[in-house]
Amino acid sequence: MENILSEIRQALKDSVDEKTKSNSQNFFKEKIKFYGVRVPLVNKISKESFAIIKDKPKEYILGLCSELWKSEYLEESFMACNWSYNIRSNYETKDFDIFEEWVNTYVNNWASCDTLCNHTIGTFVEMYPQYITKLKEWAKSDNRWVKRAAAVTLIIPARKGLFLNEIFEIADILLLDNDDLVQKGYGWMLKAASEAHQNEVFDYVISKKTIMPRTALRYTIEKMPQDLRIEAMKK
């Protein structure tokens, strides 16, 4: 395990792009640890490294992912997200505890949150829908990233028209949250749901618009026709 991690970290150090290193912090309000490697190159290193371990047991791969998360480097978190998604066909219900630990313990920025939740955890929830009850618990957390995770986990399922009632339940829990990144997260979730359920999401917005933060509202209606956007934005 140590060998592959050392090789990955050396590859990342050898791939630092000075412009990326200079600009990366600008995308985050919180202090982030990063090497300064462009995302396409991170993904290339991730793919090449995964080819070496792809036949290892799932538990071994998830253990490597946990070690990558522990480093707190942004690029290593992306690689952990890629690897955990790569083994999606082998997900079992017991794996949720590992994913939840990552969210609770290691996720500390919107990029890591969204990459993990959109793909790994979103796919898991599609496979095991009973775990949406866990997302509703996350939505009540004191941790901004756990709350955002509750929403962004459902982005891709929402685009497929899935889980509309549960999406509205999670939006209700997060509705009055003061954190702009939480507002943007559940607004994005509702926007994704509107791709398959435009009328239902529009009706939801109209029913909540007197109390819904404008940030969340604008995210929600972004892809709707202009006449509906105008109606929703009326005071």
pLDDT of residue 98: 98
Which pLDDT band, with edges at 50, 70 and 90, does 30 fall under? Answer: very high
In the predicted model, is pLDDT for residue 49 greater than 90? Answer: yes
Beta-carbon contacts of 149 under 8 Å, excluding residues fewer than 6 positions away, are: 103, 107, 113, 116, 117, 121, 135, 138, 185
Q: What is the pLDDT of residues 50-103, one digit of tens each?
A: 999 999 999 999 999 999 999 999 999 999 999 999 999 999 999 999 999 999
| 200 vs 214: CA distance, rounded Å | 19
pLDDT of residue 235: 78
Q: 5: how many CB neighbours lie within 10 A of its CB?
A: 15
Amino acid identity of 148? R
Average pLDDT over residues 13-19: 97
This prediction's pTM? 0.96
Q: What is the pLDDT of residues 168-192, one digit of tens each?
A: 999 999 999 999 999 999 999 999 9
Q: What is the pLDDT of residues 95-139, one digit of tens each?
A: 999 999 999 999 999 999 999 999 999 999 999 999 999 999 999
pLDDT of residue 21: 96
Q: What is the pLDDT of residues 161-171, one digit of tens each?
A: 999 999 999 99
Mean pLDDT score across all residues of the chain: 97
pLDDT of residue 2: 72
| 101 vs 200: CA distance, rounded Å | 34
| 224 vs 57: CA distance, rounded Å | 45
Average pLDDT over residues 32-36: 97
In the predicted model, is pLDDT for residue 153 greater than 80? Answer: yes
